Chain A
């Protein structure tokens, strides 16, 4: 996917200017935490399960090579073909090769953030393949020519009215009303049903890979994943290496956290385990199945200080609870992943230089860490990325210089108190009548949005020292 994270501030500004979208996001910001809270509170032992699953995830990552080998062995035994892709381009080429081997022209695709990451759709379409997204949200944004605004709900930014206009424009189905959201769903369903039946290849993602039996697990609420997996003769599962878990019970333990954290449901409508191609005597299922495992810098992350980020299970809770995400929406982040997890993953999977703004889109409020089902210290990782920016001089020089000056002065209390003792009373004299400043030199960031409260008088240190002398 084309990245434009370097425009984060402009994107954010534009998003804030769109009043109706901003109001909708405010509503979601109120609603989604309530739903998640209710689901978590109604589930005894959520916190113990979080720690349990975190340990499993860490163990899986610590032994990634072992579990990938075990997984591959079992997946092969089940009749799958397993491919490893170091880069996004490699994954795209592997998938295209498979499609071309089968002379496929139509692809039915389930939701997969990994393929958004590699830009698979564009790649296949350039080779004249017709790729249709079948998750309703993904289908909507594909029709609109947009990108996901949320890793779980890719079309969360679209209102029913906008979807109606879109469908009336894109589906040549004559005059119809489509006034109810249910009408929109049925129309998408009937359009997509034909596509499921005609596709020669189905592509889906995976929420977990199970080493002990070579299965992959997928959760959906629409059942489109199963149709992609079972109707076309060829199935390709595109996912990334860190999805691996040792046992089936680990995948279901993770599932209990994932769904509650993502949508507040106890369980998704469909939870599927894919073992491999149709066996003798099976009534249906694909004839040939491929699993493509993407690295794309994940093993670099494994070897870095950001290792904990690989524990992420893509639930989207950190997005829903991030006041910056809910203020500006997902498109502002300019790539596949948004919110706190996106502000960490984007620099790590692409380049820090291009996405330097993202780790700064954080007030360290800690709400994301509080709800993270994988207990990832997101604010700390974001701060570490800011540290890296500081080291690589990606932080603007006036900030670097200013912060260093301030810290240096703070290390020299007498000098610090001398300078503040001069400046603060002066500021007080100018500002005391009104009590605050509408403008202040070198503080335009602050004063563009709010007044700067005037100092109360002399500094505390001046007053305190004077008081002690007088005694």
Chain B
């Protein structure tokens, strides 16, 4: 596990497979490109397996376990060869680490458990495993930032301090905390489409709490939540840039934020 970690800037870093996630693949490829850049800067050898699609959360959370099982096996088989698997999403990493072992049986359960010990959400990997540092490069300058803790990341994987510490290290930026930061934004996968009115109320609360911080950027680690909050901000005509945390950490701030036009 510890190989080459003593030398994070070295050429022979650990082999990392990036699990892109379907939302980043389809809607925000920059999240994957920024992730690759951050990992390579920290000395990792990054591979993106081409056989990947989706981790199976939509079917799983809707109770279609039968459709999820073969998909979970496929994901495990694709990702297993890596030293580490890194995922720019708390909920997809949580799916692999927490839910695959419960869903599968026998040999596949063992394989899922084994993979779960080597699979990390990206801020956890950068901060806790690689202890990534900005080094001699100057910090990235950011306007005031607030942070949305996604529920799966927070409660399934304990992601709370990692993005804040990285923002401090990479951007010299202190997070302006949201009121009720541990409350769901109302995304919930298919929930937002099954119960739109309740979901709408929840995301509106989240947006209002974000606006109350007077931050210019709302960052987070899960595209599902971010698309939800950005979409609501657009609908309400509110100006707050919604971006994935890796965009901030890699200084990728020139392109439009989520939901914004050119």
Contact A410 B189 (CB under 8 A): no
Q: Assuming A366-B155, A410-B54, A465-B50, is B63 touching A450 (CB within 8 A)?
A: no
User: Do A445 and B192 have beta carbons less than 8 Å apart?
Assistant: yes
B243-262 vs A, CB cutoff 8 Å, 1 = contact: the mask equals 00000000000011011111
Q: Which of B2-10, B125-133, B179-187 contacts A (4 or more CB under 8 A)?
A: B179-187
Q: Is the CB–CB distance between B184 and A435 below 8 Å?
A: no
Q: Check if A383 is an interface residue, CB within 8 A of chain B.
A: yes
In the complex, are the beta carbons of A460 and B197 less than 8 A apart? no
Decide if A459 touches B26 in the complex (CB within 8 Å): yes
Q: Let me know if B234 is at the binding interface, CB within 8 A.
A: yes
Q: Which of A42-50, A139-147, A399-407 contacts B (4 or more CB under 8 A)?
A: A399-407
Q: Is the CB of A408 within 8 A of B67?
A: yes
Cα distance A404–B20 when bound, in Å?
Answer: 22
A12-B195, A327-B198, A435-B260 as given contacts; A456 in contact with B27, CB under 8 Å: yes
The yes or no answer to B144 lying at the interface (CB within 8 A) is: no
A9 to chain B: which residues have CB within 8 Å?
195, 197
Residues of B within 8 A of A411 (CB): 53, 70-71, 74
* Docked CA distance A351–B258 (Å): 42
Query: Is B193 among interface residues, defined by CB-CB distance under 8 A?
Result: yes
CA distance A153 to B28 in the complex (A): 45
B81 within 8 A of A: no
Query: In residues 392-448 of chain A, which contact B (Cβ within 8 Å)?
Result: 395, 399-400, 403-404, 406-411, 413, 416-417, 420, 424, 432-436, 438, 443, 445-446, 448
**Nearest CB of A to B184, in Å:** 4
B53 and A400 form a contact (CB under 8 A) = no
Contact B26 A424 (CB under 8 A): yes
Of the four ranges (under 10, 10 to 19, 20 to 34, 35 or more), the interface on chain A belongs to 35 or more
Interface check A166, CB cutoff 8 A? no
Q: How far is the CA of A22 from the CA of B201 in the complex (A)?
A: 10
Contact B198 A403 (CB under 8 A): no
Alpha-carbon gap, A450 to B180, bound state (A): 21
Task: Select the stretch in B104-112, B115-123, B225-233 that faces chain A.
Answer: B225-233
The 8 A CB mask of B87-120 against A (1 = contact, 0 = none) is: 0000000000000001000000000000000000
Decide if the interface of chain B is mainly helix, strand, loop or mixed.
helix
Judge whether A460 and B29 touch: CB under 8 Å. yes
Is there an interface contact between A455 and B262, defined as CB atoms closer than 8 Å?
no
Q: With an 8 A cutoff between CB atoms, is A41 at the interface?
A: no
Contact B227 A457 (CB under 8 A): no
Q: How far is the CB of B137 from chain A (nearest CB, A)?
A: 24
Chain B's closest residue to A363 (CB) is: B188
Assess the B64–A366 pair: CB atoms within 8 A: no
Closest partner residue, chain B, to A446 (CB atom):
B193
Q: Is the CB of A449 within 8 A of B262?
A: no
- A228 in the interface, Cβ–Cβ < 8 Å? no
The residue on A at minimum CB distance from B91 is: A364
Contact partner, A456, options B22, B56, B67, B255, Cβ 8 Å: B255
A-B residue pair count with CB separations less than 8 angstroms? 220
B200 and A449 within 8 A (CB): yes
Closest residue of chain B to A30 (Cβ to Cβ) is B180
For window 80-117 of A, CB contacts with B under 8 Å fall at none
Chain B, range 123-167, C-beta contacts under 8 Å to A: 151-152, 155-156
Complex CA gap A362/B50 in Å reads 33
CA distance A465 to B192 in the complex (A): 33
Output the residue of A327, A384, A385, A424 with the most chain B CB within 10 A.
A327
Neighbour of A367 across the interface among B67, B184, B202, B256, CB < 8 A: B184
Query: If the complex has contacts A363-B151, A404-B59, A413-B51, are A450 and B184 also in contact, measured as CB distance less than 8 A?
Result: no
Nearest residue (CB) in A for B49 is A413
Q: How far is the CA of A22 from the CA of B25 in the complex (A)?
A: 38
Residue from the list A26, A30, A435, A460 in contact with B234, Cβ < 8 A: A435
Given A363-B187, A436-B259, A451:B196 Cβ within 8 A: no
Contact check: which of A30, A361, A404, A434 meets B261 at CB < 8 Å?
A434
Q: Are B193 and A450 in contact (CB under 8 A)?
A: no
Q: Which residues of A contact B173 (CB under 8 A)?
A: none
| A365 B27 Cβ-Cβ under 8 A | no
Q: Is the CB of A399 within 8 A of B234?
A: no
User: A12 and B198 in contact (CB under 8 A), knowing A365-B188, A367-B155?
Assistant: yes
| Residue pair A453, B258 in contact (C-beta under 8 Å) | yes
A459 and B247 CA atoms in complex are apart in Å by 17
Determine whether the beta carbon of A454 is less than 8 Å from that of B259: yes
Kindly report which residue of chain B lies nearest to residue A324, judged by CB atoms.
Answer: B198
Q: In residues 1-42 of chain A, which contact B (Cβ within 8 Å)? A: 9, 12-13, 16, 22, 26, 29-30
Are B62 and A450 in contact (CB-based, < 8 A)? Answer: no
Q: A360-B195, A451-B259 are in contact. Are A446 and B180 (CB under 8 A)?
A: no
Expressed in whole angstroms, the minimum distance between the Cβ of B222 and any Cβ of chain A is 12
The answer to whether A363 touches B227 (Cβ under 8 A) is no
**A12 CA / B197 CA spacing, docked (Å):** 8
- Determine whether A55 belongs to the interface, using a CB cutoff of 8 Å to chain B: no
CB contact under 8 A between A367 and B26, given known A383-B61, A435-B259, A460-B33: no
CB contact under 8 A between A407 and B26, given known A362-B191, A432-B261: no
Is the pair B190, A323 in contact by a Cβ cutoff of 8 Å?
Answer: no
B29 with A436: CB separation less than 8 A: no
Nearest residue (CB) in A for B226 is A453
Q: Which one, B28, B29, B203, contacts A450 given CB within 8 A?
A: B203
- Whether A450 and B68, one on each chain, are in contact in the complex, defined by CB atoms closer than 8 angstroms, is no
Nearest chain B residue, comparing its CB with the CB of A442: B193
Q: Which residues of B contact A435 (CB under 8 A)?
A: 234, 256, 259-262
Q: Is there a chain B Cβ closer than 8 Å to A458's Cβ?
A: yes
Closest CB of chain B to A390's CB: distance in Å? 4
- Contact of B195 with A448 in the complex, beta carbons under 8 Å: no
Of A362, A434, A464, the most chain B CB neighbours within 10 A belong to A464
A-B contacts, 7 of them at CB < 8 A, read A362-B191, A369-B155, A380-B102, A387-B63, A399-B62, A411-B53, A460-B24
The 6 closest A-B pairs by CB, nearest first: A363-B188, A386-B63, A445-B193, A449-B200, A435-B261, A450-B231
Chain B interface (Cβ within 8 Å of chain A)?
Answer: 20, 22, 24-30, 32-33, 48, 50-54, 56, 58-65, 67-68, 70-71, 74, 102, 151-152, 155-156, 180, 182-184, 186-203, 205, 227-228, 230-232, 234-235, 255-256, 258-262
- Apart from A361-B198, A403-B67, A452-B231: 12 A-B pairs, beta carbons within 8 A: A364-B151, A367-B184, A399-B190, A406-B58, A407-B59, A410-B53, A436-B260, A445-B196, A453-B230, A459-B25, A460-B32, A463-B33
